[in-house]
């Protein structure tokens, strides 16, 4: 069975259509939901989010489907009931993630959790469901804690993610592509092929000079150009912003060098940020409004755009349980 878990149930790869591989319905630091300064009513959240998803759906019509992968994970404002209602009303497929943005955003409850405990938690969310929503996770989020260096809890989460990915077949995406050596080592030790991992934010402003993205690509990992739109040209750019042209050149370098199959791209925008103001004017629709015209101007053809936003993410998101394949082969 080749399927992808969305919050409304499994779908076939052909149904995904256009995929924004790293986005957020709403992202906030753990506890922000308790801060009255930032607390949003459900009405406000729908009001901020629905028009952006409707526009995304409209922009993707010619691709035969719209898929929004929510990279929020456990503890950062993930709300699957809400995602289900958004998906039903807008027609956008929403893929939810299990896992954590990083060890430093996992609530203290998980701090001492063993690799086995975390693995079981991820597998439960992928195969049984997230809470009592019936919605299952379709991807696992992991990440590097603040400071650009893997912490012990990060490593534990990466190992648990690798085991859950092998068992269930869902892929992994990472927050930050810095300090990738220990990550690559863990995935190798666990026997997870590196094309099941998207090393995210390889293109952000603060990581430059610290990301060995070509080395990761050589090892077979996928490179995330997934902060498109966080441009220093914005009126109020975030600290991870980068000059628009510099990011574009970085990306085009991969295409010119024949490495298109190594990349995936997205905007990492928040439909309705939680506990912070977000970045005004930045939405997932940047891809259609600004990125694609810039790519076309630089001679990138429609087939390449289709490859990066339809074919490659479909291959990546389709569940490929390696351990069961290996076991089947061993007993055959």
Beta strand residue intervals within the chain, DSSP E? 4-6, 9-11, 18-23, 66-70, 93-95, 97-99, 139-143, 172-175, 197-199, 222-225, 263-265
Q: Considering the complex, what minimum distance in angstroms separates the CB of residue 114 from Zn ion?
A: 27
Binding track, positions 71-100, relative to Zn ion; x by CB under 5 A: x-----------------------------
Nearest approach, Cβ of residue 127 and Zn ion (Å):
24
Stretch that binds Zn ion, among 10-18, 50-58, 66-74, 307-315 (CB under 5 A): 66-74
Q: Supply the minimum distance, in Å, between the C-beta of residue 177 and Zn ion.
A: 13
State how far the Cα of 47 lies from the Cα of 219, in Å rounded to an integer.
43
Residue 4: name the closest of 126, 194, 138, 103 by CA: 138
List the structure tokens of 263. Answer: 């990349």
Q: Residue 135: which of 97, 80, 86 has the closest Cα?
A: 80
Please give the residues from 143 up to 162 whose contact with Zn ion meets the rule CB under 5 A.
none
Nearer to Zn ion, 174 or 320 (CB): 174
Q: Say if CB 179 and CB 148 are below 8 A apart.
A: yes
* Interface pick for Zn ion out of 171, 248, 268, 270 (rule CB under 5 A): 268
Burial class (CB in 10 A: 0-12, 13-18, 19+), 128: exposed
| Separation of alpha carbons 180 and 198, rounded Å | 11
CB closer to Zn ion out of 71 and 279: 71
**Of 231 and 268, CB closest to Zn ion:** 268
Which of 260, 269, 272, 163 is CA-nearest to residue 217? 260
Q: Which part of the chain contacts Zn ion (CB under 5 A), choosing from 144-152, 186-194, 260-268, 307-315?
A: 260-268
Q: How far is the CB of 292 from Zn ion (least distance, A)?
A: 21
Measured from the CB atom, the residue of 150 and 269 that comes closer to Zn ion is 269
Which residue lies nearer to Zn ion by CB, 30 or 163? 30
Instruction: For residue 314, state whether it binds Zn ion (rule: CB under 5 A).
Output: no
Main-chain phi, psi angles of 68, to 5 degrees? -120, 115
CB of 21 to Zn ion, least distance (A): 10
- Provide the minimum distance between the beta carbon of 122 and Zn ion in the complex, in angstroms, as a whole number: 18
CB of 332 to Zn ion, least distance (A): 41
Number of residues that bind Zn ion (CB under 5 A): 2
Q: Which range in 5-13, 70-78, 185-193, 229-237 contacts Zn ion by CB under 5 A? A: 70-78
Query: Is there a contact between 97 and 137 (Cβ–Cβ < 8 Å)?
Result: yes
> In 3-state terms, the chain is what percent helix, strand and coil (to 5)?
45, 15, 40
Task: Specify the residue, 125 or 268, whose C-beta has the smaller distance to Zn ion.
Answer: 268
* Cα dist from 213 to 136, 198, 200, 223, 246, whole Å: 31, 11, 10, 7, 15
Q: Identify which of residues 162 and 176 has a Cβ nearer to Zn ion in the complex.
A: 176
* Minimum gap (Å) between residue 268 Cβ and Zn ion: 4
Nearer to Zn ion, 173 or 320 (CB): 173
| Positions that interact with Zn ion (CB under 5 A) | 71, 268
């Amino acid at each position: 069975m080749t399927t992808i878990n969305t919050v409304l149930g499994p779908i076939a790869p052909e149904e995904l259509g256009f995929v924004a591989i790293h986005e957020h319905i709403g992202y906030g630091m753990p506890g922000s939901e308790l801060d009255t300064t930032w607390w949003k009513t459900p009405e406000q959240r729908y009001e901020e989010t629905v028009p952006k998803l409707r526009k995304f759906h409209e922009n993707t019509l010619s691709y035969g489907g719209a898929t929004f992968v929510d990279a929020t994970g456990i503890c950062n404002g993930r709300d699957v009931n809400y995602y289900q209602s958004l998906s039903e009303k807008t027609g956008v497929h929403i893929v939810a993630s299990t896992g954590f943005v990083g060890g430093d955003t996992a609530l203290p409850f998980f701090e001492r959790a063993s690799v086995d405990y975390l693995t079981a938690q991820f597998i439960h969310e992928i195969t049984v469901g997230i809470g009592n929503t019936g919605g299952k996770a379709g991807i696992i989020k992991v990440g590097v804690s603040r400071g650009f260096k893997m912490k012990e809890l990060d490593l534990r989460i990466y190992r648990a993610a690798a085991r859950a990915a092998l068992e269930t077949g869902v892929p992994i995406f990472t927050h930050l592509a810095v300090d990738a050596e220990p990550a690559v080592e863990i995935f190798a030790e666990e026997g997870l092929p590196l094309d099941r991992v998207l090393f995210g934010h390889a293109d952000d402003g603060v990581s430059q000079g610290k990301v060995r993205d070509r080395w990761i690509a050589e090892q077979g990992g996928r490179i995330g150009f997934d902060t498109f739109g966080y441009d220093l040209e914005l009126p109020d750019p975030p600290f991870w912003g980068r000059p628009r042209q510099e990011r574009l050149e970085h990306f085009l370098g991969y295409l010119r060098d024949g490495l298109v199959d190594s990349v995936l791209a997205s905007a990492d925008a928040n439909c309705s940020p939680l506990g912070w103001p977000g970045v005004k004017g930045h939405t997932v629709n940047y891809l259609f409004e600004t990125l694609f015209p810039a790519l076309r101007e630089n001679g990138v053809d429609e087939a390449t755009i289709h490859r990066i936003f339809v074919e490659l993410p479909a291959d990546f998101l389709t569940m490929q349980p390696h351990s069961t394949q290996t076991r089947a082969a061993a007993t055959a």
